[in-house]
Structure 1
C-alpha cells in the first residue's frame, strides 16, 4: 500500500506544471524583447550616426579660455 500512496501523491503533485508555465511565460517575454530590439535597432543606429556627425564639428574650449577663438582669459589684480 505504501508504494500505491506514493504513486498517487506523485500524480496529484502539480508543482511541475507551474514550472512549465513559468518557462513558457519567460520564453514569451524574451521573444517579445528580441522583437522590440530588432524593430528599434535600425532607427537607433541612424539617430546615433546623426548625433555623431552633429557633434563632430563642435569645438570645446579648455578651462582658462574665453570665446570660440581660444583667447586666453585675463584677470586684473
Structure 2
C-alpha cells in the first residue's frame, strides 16, 4: 500500500495539464485586469465625442 502511494506521489502524468490550466487562468485574469480600465476610459471618451458631434451645427445654415 505504501509503495503504491509513493508511486502515485512521484507520478507526473497529469502535471502538464494542471500547469496549462493554471497558466491559462493567469493569462485570462491578467487580460481582464488590463481590459476593464481601458474599456471604461474608452467609453468615457466615446461619450465625449458623441456630445461634441451632437452639438455641431451642420448644413447651409451653420455657415451664417
Question: Shorter-normalised TM-score: what interval?
Answer: 0.5 to 0.7
| Consecutive unaligned residues in structure 1, runs of 5 or more | 60-67, 69-77
Larger RCO (alpha carbons 8 Å, 6+ apart):
1
**Aligned pairs, number:** 55
TM-score (norm 2): 0.61
Q: CA RMSD in A?
A: 2.5
Which structure: greater strand fraction? 1
Structure with the higher fraction of residues in helix conformation: 2
- Normalising by structure 1, we get a TM-score of 0.53
Which consecutive residues of structure 2, in runs of 5 or more, have no partner in the other structure?
none
If you compute each CA radius of gyration, which structure gives the higher value, 1 or 2? 1
